[in-house]
Structure 1
Amino acid sequence: MQDYAEPVEVLRRVFGHPGFRGLQEEVVRHAVAGGSGLVLMPTGGGKSLCFQVPALCRPGLGVVVSPLIALMEDQVAALRQQDVPAAALHSELDPDEARAIWRDLDSGQLKLLYVSPERLTAEYTLARLDAMRIALFAIDEAHCVSQWGHHFRPEYRGLPVLAERFPRVPRLALTATADPRTVVDIQRQLGLEECPLFRASFDRPNIHIAAEPREAERGQLRRFIRSAGDGAGAGLIYCGTRRKAEQTAEWLCQEGHDALVFHAGLEPAAKRDAHRRFARGDAVIMAATIAFGMGIDRPDVRYVAHTDLPRSPESWYQEIGRGGRDGLPAQALLLYGAGDISLARHRIGESGAPEEQKRVERQRLEAMVAIAESATCRRQILLRCFGEEAPEPCGRCDICLNPPRLFDGTVAAQKLLSAVLRTGRRFGLGHVVDVLRGKTTAKVAQFGHDQLPTFGVGRDLPDAAWRGVARQLVAQGALDVVVENHGELVPTDAARPILKGEQPVMLRQDLVAVAGGGRSAPASPVAEGAMADPVFAALRDWRRRTASAQGVPAYVIFQDRTLAEIAAARPADLRTLGSIPGVGTTKLERYGKAVLGVLRDCE
């Protein structure tokens, strides 16, 4: 493929976009001129173009460091659809395939090479690259190099060799989620301290975020999927354990969904199969642990749910950022419980990590708790974790759409804490609530707790409300849950001033709200119109069949946004079709007549 000198021409001709977005052009022109730097850009913000376009503009080979084989294969498939000579070099290639790639590299036939960090830093690979002209190095998922990053990968620590071995070759490090501490560490590890930092806004306004106490998990998920799914796009459900992921996938299948499971305990072949099915399916749901998702390229993930509290805002934002990469509306739901918070705190305290790392992990966990229990705009709190201040509430998260009211819950907190103390600090929440509500259960009678002064003092609140009081006391640090010992409730030192009346406790008024009753985000006019349009449906059906015949993910043919634009414009000729963003010269030549045929059949 020829080298183009002008980035805008590459963008238009190869990728079918009329212009760059946000910081893209600044990054691209810096790299084309031979500059290095760190790029912070949210998932779906167009990071790939920041290194793909310069690689096509500069003479030589663009080398992209990527941590996942499935991600490499998806990106290579997408580039080949645009007639860009690209290949992926990884451990699953058989010897003949690997030799063929090296022959193409030696002959200069490739423009982009995707490679794992351990393969790239092997002396054999470095020696072969020494003899080639390198356009640039792109280090994708750069947070993996940092000990503070949420997906630290030790093999990334070998990448500083690139600056030493290829000092005149530009290096771009790119990541979607990094807090200020991680940014500094990435720059130090990769020798980018003196290079520019390109920081885009982390805000993803098309993702509606919501959080709810986990009361009836399957019912909450059922309602969420029904409201957030569009009948074609994919969904992600993150679970805290492998067993929970398997159970979630199983009951979703029983309810008629095309559901898959993914976790680190699966055999490599099963992981690859699940990843490919997710990438190439239609309305498929992936129930997974955090082992799944880094670098997910599928643009039409319409919803992401978490059934357990994530360990940090970084990991949570990385995971929900896999929704709505095409810019169309997506929804994120966080379900959490008091046990999640206590268990996470205990794990940090009992880990063998250095004290400084424990301190940072505690800070991140408490920031995540603050987001979950927030009574103000969740997006503002989330962005603040990345050093970004949103001047006004977003108006689109569940808190902005349904603002909760606070009330003085000091008396309720005192009642609950007193009940925990008087029952001996060795019972779970269910028993304590039975005592407060005055229920003479067999267990209450067995231990004589119906004779306590606290028996029945909480009849004014329903069970769900008392669970909410307990959960918020855990979030505020006044109550602990010993998860490994049957969920025993234990007051902390912070409970003393509450019991003495020295510290008021403000609680949310919506404690008794029905879980799952929040308003969903309003869909964009493009999305609403497209989903109801039979032409759009016909185009998606054609795309599905075309992708299946080629054995590639559907989105590498055309993304939903492009199909929606085509359905809305109803072009009658190739020239008009070629002017629609996302089509491009190569795809116009390859698919133009077929698309026009679909449109004619819909008339």
Structure 2
Amino acid sequence: MTAPDSRPEASDALSVLNRVFGYKSFRPAQQEIIDHVVAGHDALVLMPTGGGKSLCYQIPALVREGVGVVVSPLIALMQDQVHALTALGVRAGFLNSTQDVDERRAVESAFLAGELDLLYLAPERLRVDSTLRLLDRGTISLFAIDEAHCVAQWGHDFRPDYLALSMLHERWPEVPRIALTATATEATRAEIATRLNLREARHFVTGFDRPNIQYRIVPKDEPRRQLLKLLRTEHTGDAGIVYCLSRASVEKIAAFLVENGIEALPYHAGLDPRVRAANQARFLREDGIVMVATIAFGMGVDKPDVRFVAHLDLPRSVEGYYQETGRAGRDGLPSTAWLAYGLQDVVQQRKMIDTSEGDEAHRRRLRAHLDAMLALCETVECRRVRLLDYFGQQGAPCGNCDTCLSPPEAWDGTIAAQKLLSTVVRLQRERGQKFGAGQIVDILLGRKTPKVTQFRHDELSVFGVGTDLSEAEWRGVVRQLLAQGLLGVEGDYGTLVLTEESRGVLSRAREVRLRREPKRAERAAKAPKAAAAAADLPEEAVPVFERLRAWRAAKAKEQGVPAYVIFHDATLREIATLSPTSLADLGKVSGVGENKLAKYGEEILQTLTG
């Protein structure tokens, strides 16, 4: 927007969408949400990542009188968000702790003069009196609270500063508020509404399905090798994120990938802030970078062409898993969510919960989160159906996840479970001993290892009773019994113990159904390759698309912004396919608004002519 008096009326929301953002029509629910907020009402919006949440507050901010104030949790990404809006001709600014006094004063002056459409703030800024006094002196069109799940105290990404945002309604009761998130169960939605004082807000839930993401969960078997195979066979040259539980793992995996010719960078809270910021900037601005990170990375990352998200450790909750995997494929193109999961993950997570801070109610909540995540990992049903069901949404088998492509077999594991639980019983009752999974499996397989011989475990009646299963299969039994709560773990060494539920199995009162993994070769053969950026383009359009990408990369480097700030891949694909010959034709392409047409139109037409 170029001048205060050019602000459109409420009826012009579609015109703003077309003229400023370059889109011809709204996505499902967007217009209803926008009209609701433009009319001055509060809203709580749940929309999947990549579903167009930001337009739900950006367009009302352009339509309503005043400045839209956006509360965003990540300072590091505000600059990119503002760059993206500025490239569209929207007058946007931010206030955060990275700015010097002169920069802050310039933004404050623009706000007070009505020369901004959107102002981005970190939540902690709203706890500063000077910020509140500044907002009192201006005209605010709306408050947008992004990543609103951060207010849920026992959610997967709790931020204490979000708790103070309930005061927005108390201090500015006439200003509409819109809280947005991609991840929240019904209980979390209720907590958001309560903590943000949004009890009267209308809830908009557009669904959680991301049909372009292929969900795959594999048993851990040399996970570094498995990850490398995934990247080499399915995602060569693609941008992606690899999540690890610990900082040490992040460093090791990033180094391993670099050693094997993959351009990877580490990201975790222990890195020097300058290194962390530089790595994030490279990931956002360059093509084909793999970011290896803890969950400290990713919230608010608006990079549309992330083709895969890989987890080398078990996420703590389904909400966290959904949030993290949702960073893949924001552009709607085929993408992969891949998780390597093993027995040690279960042992480690159970131990972390048992030793966590907080009261028993908190630990019960954490256990419930973990149990739901384990159920997703161990299901023999469609992953997508199970995932959607967790969020209260029904779905049909997708035909695209691993369990649909290579259905695992469910088998009666009652006898196997009895053998394993009996071994735990005999060790404790006859010897007064507790051991981890490795020793239990050696006893069942009849292995006379030094440790077995030392403790005379070869004299137990259960020694060698499990030769009908392999070591990998027995470890799968242990993992699944832990997942079902039929086996417990305690202590620093992860020793196995019985639970209340174990008795029903030992007494033959309870049947145990277990999952048998499909053969690895079959699974690999049926898993389709994720599409690369140029996939599905007409053959003659591929070199044109690559020329456009090269042009975009040069412009992004010149301006010091991420490539997607110039244009998304989807827009370049459409340009390459349609090959417009005039500015008028180019202006009809989705994602080419007035400002970008004026700024880049001639250069694009020149690039098309080669």
TM-score range, shorter chain: over 0.9
2 CA distance for matches of 1:514 and 1:446?
39
Q: Given the two structures, how large is their TM-score scaled by the length of structure 2?
A: 0.94
User: Counterpart of 2:307 in 1: which secondary structure?
Assistant: strand
Residues 260 and 420 from structure 1, CA distance in 2 versus in 1: closer, same or farther, beyond 3 angstroms?
same
Asked if 1:552 corresponds to 2:561, the answer is yes
Between 516-525 and 337-346, report the one with greater CA deviation.
516-525
1 CA distance for matches of 2:245 and 2:474?
25
Q: Given the two structures, how large is their TM-score scaled by the length of structure 1?
A: 0.95
Paired residue for 1:300? 305
1 CA distance for matches of 2:360 and 2:466?
41
Aligned counterparts, 1:354-369, within 5 A = 354-369=359-374
**What's the RMSD between the two structures over aligned residues?**
2.0
Paired residue for 2:577? 568
Asked if 1:101 corresponds to 2:110, the answer is no
Opposite residue 265 of structure 2, the aligned amino acid is L
1 CA distance for matches of 2:71 and 2:381?
39
Once the 2 structures are TM-superposed, how far is the Cα of residue 433 of structure 1 from its aligned partner?
2.4
Paired residue for 1:381? 386
Between 589-598 and 412-421, report the one with greater CA deviation.
412-421
Paired residue for 2:212? 206
2 CA distance for matches of 1:394 and 1:129?
48
Contact 2:533–2:569 (8 Å) recurs in 1: no
1 CA distance for matches of 2:162 and 2:516?
47
| Candidates 500, 505, 511, aligned match of 1:498 | 505
| Candidates 142, 145, 159, aligned match of 1:153 | 159
Aligned counterparts, 1:460-471, within 5 A = 460-471=468-479
Contact 2:42–2:200 (8 Å) recurs in 1: no
Q: Deviations over 1:187-242 (max 9, x none)?
A: 112221112111111111111111122121111111222344252x4111111111
Paired residue for 2:461? 453
1 CA distance for matches of 2:177 and 2:204?
13
Between 392-401 and 544-553, report the one with greater CA deviation.
392-401
Once the 2 structures are TM-superposed, how far is the Cα of residue 468 of structure 1 from its aligned partner?
1.2
Contact 2:407–2:518 (8 Å) recurs in 1: no
2 CA distance for matches of 1:180 and 1:148?
14
User: Counterpart of 1:210 in 2: which secondary structure?
Assistant: strand
Q: Deviations over 1:350-404 (max 9, x none)?
A: 33423333332222211111001111111112112212122x2122111111111
Contact 2:57–2:144 (8 Å) recurs in 1: yes
| Candidates 258, 262, 268, aligned match of 2:263 | 258
Asked if 1:396 corresponds to 2:400, the answer is yes
Contact 2:46–2:204 (8 Å) recurs in 1: yes
Contact 2:556–2:562 (8 Å) recurs in 1: yes
Opposite residue 89 of structure 2, the aligned amino acid is D
Structure 1 residue ranges without an equivalent (≥5): none
Q: Deviations over 1:271-303 (max 9, x none)?
A: 212221111121111111111111111111110
1 CA distance for matches of 2:363 and 2:335?
34
2 CA distance for matches of 1:43 and 1:228?
23
Contact 2:306–2:330 (8 Å) recurs in 1: yes
User: Counterpart of 1:88 in 2: which secondary structure?
Assistant: strand
Between 507-516 and 490-499, report the one with greater CA deviation.
507-516
Paired residue for 2:437? 429
Between 549-558 and 523-532, report the one with greater CA deviation.
523-532
| Candidates 569, 593, 599, aligned match of 1:584 | 593
Asked if 1:20 corresponds to 2:17, the answer is no
Residues 531 and 142 from structure 1, CA distance in 2 versus in 1: closer, same or farther, beyond 3 angstroms?
farther
Aligned counterparts, 1:124-163, within 5 A = 124-163=130-169
2 CA distance for matches of 1:202 and 1:69?
27
Aligned counterparts, 1:265-276, within 5 A = 265-276=270-281
1 CA distance for matches of 2:103 and 2:578?
43
Opposite residue 507 of structure 1, the aligned amino acid is L
1 CA distance for matches of 2:491 and 2:378?
20
User: Counterpart of 2:144 in 1: which secondary structure?
Assistant: strand
Residues 526 and 278 from structure 1, CA distance in 2 versus in 1: closer, same or farther, beyond 3 angstroms?
closer
2 CA distance for matches of 1:177 and 1:377?
20
Aligned counterparts, 1:500-515, within 5 A = 500-510=507-517, 513=520
User: Counterpart of 1:136 in 2: which secondary structure?
Assistant: strand
User: Counterpart of 1:160 in 2: which secondary structure?
Assistant: helix
Opposite residue 219 of structure 1, the aligned amino acid is R
Q: Deviations over 1:519-561 (max 9, x none)?
A: 4356579862249722222211111111011100001111111
Paired residue for 2:348? 343
Paired residue for 2:126? 120
Residues 266 and 524 from structure 1, CA distance in 2 versus in 1: closer, same or farther, beyond 3 angstroms?
closer
Paired residue for 2:194? 188
Paired residue for 2:94? 88
Paired residue for 1:284? 289
Q: Deviations over 1:31-57 (max 9, x none)?
A: 112121111111111000001111111
Opposite residue 418 of structure 1, the aligned amino acid is S
Contact 1:28–1:53 (8 Å) recurs in 2: yes
Once the 2 structures are TM-superposed, how far is the Cα of residue 514 of structure 1 from its aligned partner?
6.1
1 CA distance for matches of 2:436 and 2:384?
33
Between 566-575 and 6-15, report the one with greater CA deviation.
566-575
Opposite residue 412 of structure 1, the aligned amino acid is A
| Candidates 404, 410, 426, aligned match of 1:406 | 410
User: Counterpart of 1:484 in 2: which secondary structure?
Assistant: coil
2 CA distance for matches of 1:499 and 1:517?
37
Contact 1:417–1:491 (8 Å) recurs in 2: yes
Opposite residue 226 of structure 2, the aligned amino acid is Q
Opposite residue 579 of structure 2, the aligned amino acid is R
User: Counterpart of 1:555 in 2: which secondary structure?
Assistant: helix
Contact 2:402–2:523 (8 Å) recurs in 1: no
Opposite residue 558 of structure 1, the aligned amino acid is F
Contact 1:343–1:481 (8 Å) recurs in 2: no
Contact 1:228–1:303 (8 Å) recurs in 2: no
Paired residue for 1:42? 48
Aligned counterparts, 1:72-87, within 5 A = 72-87=78-93
Asked if 1:442 corresponds to 2:450, the answer is yes
Contact 1:208–1:521 (8 Å) recurs in 2: no
1 CA distance for matches of 2:100 and 2:355?
44
User: Counterpart of 1:155 in 2: which secondary structure?
Assistant: helix
Opposite residue 455 of structure 1, the aligned amino acid is F
2 CA distance for matches of 1:504 and 1:164?
56
1 CA distance for matches of 2:419 and 2:295?
38
Between 393-402 and 201-210, report the one with greater CA deviation.
393-402
Contact 2:147–2:182 (8 Å) recurs in 1: yes
Residues 44 and 518 from structure 1, CA distance in 2 versus in 1: closer, same or farther, beyond 3 angstroms?
farther
Between 142-151 and 423-432, report the one with greater CA deviation.
423-432
2 CA distance for matches of 1:417 and 1:527?
53
Contact 1:436–1:457 (8 Å) recurs in 2: yes
| Candidates 483, 487, 494, aligned match of 1:479 | 487
Once the 2 structures are TM-superposed, how far is the Cα of residue 156 of structure 1 from its aligned partner?
1.2
Once the 2 structures are TM-superposed, how far is the Cα of residue 77 of structure 1 from its aligned partner?
0.8
Paired residue for 1:313? 318
2 CA distance for matches of 1:38 and 1:399?
34
User: Counterpart of 1:517 in 2: which secondary structure?
Assistant: helix
Residues 43 and 553 from structure 1, CA distance in 2 versus in 1: closer, same or farther, beyond 3 angstroms?
same
Opposite residue 547 of structure 1, the aligned amino acid is A
